[in-house]
Amino acid sequence: MYPNFHDKEQIVAEKLSIKFKDLQRGEVVIFEHPLEKDRLLIKRVIGLPGETIKLENGSVYINNKILEEKYLPTGTTTKGQNFQGEDVDYKIPSNYYALMGDNRSKSTDSREWGFVSKNLIVGRGAFVYYPLNRIRLIENLLF
């Protein structure tokens, strides 16, 4: 999730609100890896249930509209991987999300292993508590 998050940072997940409030695009979530259940990951919500997602010319399209991702550094490109290739529309199933890392060129995410079921999502990222010099709230907690 670099540059917004760094290796070794410790994050608190807020678990209650995901039961009552739908996840929103751009939120940071912690979830169980879809292929390795004993591993937790942090990614950003990109596509919502029922939407169509497509990767084209380095950009993400949601329902045929380019997705503006202000949290990404200028010039970031999003390329297809094993699950989600280039120039193909994918319909996100009900109760599933497209999750991607912010470091798109090095992130293993929904493009690699598919959409993530809501029941694998542990919670919203709330705040970074370690290391002490990087303590901060994660913006999506302010809902």
Q: Which residue, among 141, 100, 110, 142, has the nearest Cα to 123 in the 3D structure?
A: 141
- The domains of the chain are located at 10-141
Cα(17)–Cα(55) distance, integer angstroms: 30
39-76 pLDDT, tens digit each: 999 999 999 999 999 999 999 999 999 999 999 999 99
* Amino acid (1-letter code) at residue 82: N
84-109 pLDDT, tens digit each: 999 999 999 999 999 999 999 999 99
Residues 6 or more apart whose Cβ sits within 8 Å of residue 7: none
Look up residue 111 and give its two tokens.
């493009």
Look up residue 103 and give its two tokens.
């470091």
Cis peptide before 131 (omega within 30 of 0): yes
> Structure pTM?
0.90
Q: 10-141 has which CATH code?
A: 2.10.109.10
